[in-house]
Structure 1
Amino acid sequence: MKVKISKIIDHGHDDERIVLNVLEDTDIGEFLILDTTYNSGEVSNKVRHPYWFPDKKVKKRDLVILYTKKGTSSIIKNENGATSHFFYWGLNSNVWNNDGDCALLLHVDDWEHHRITISKK
Structure 2
Amino acid sequence: MFTRLAHQHRQFIQDLVMNLQALATVLERRGYLASCYTCGQEMNSASFMVSLGDNHLIRFLVSDYGITWTEMCDDRELMKLEGAEAINQLQELANLLKTEVCQTNLETVTHSTHLTKTESEVNF
Indicate the TM-score class for this superposition, using the shorter chain for normalisation.
under 0.3
TM-score (norm 1): 0.22
More helix by share: 2
Relative contact order, higher structure (CA 8 A, sep 6+)? 1
Highest CA radius of gyration, 1 or 2?
Answer: 2
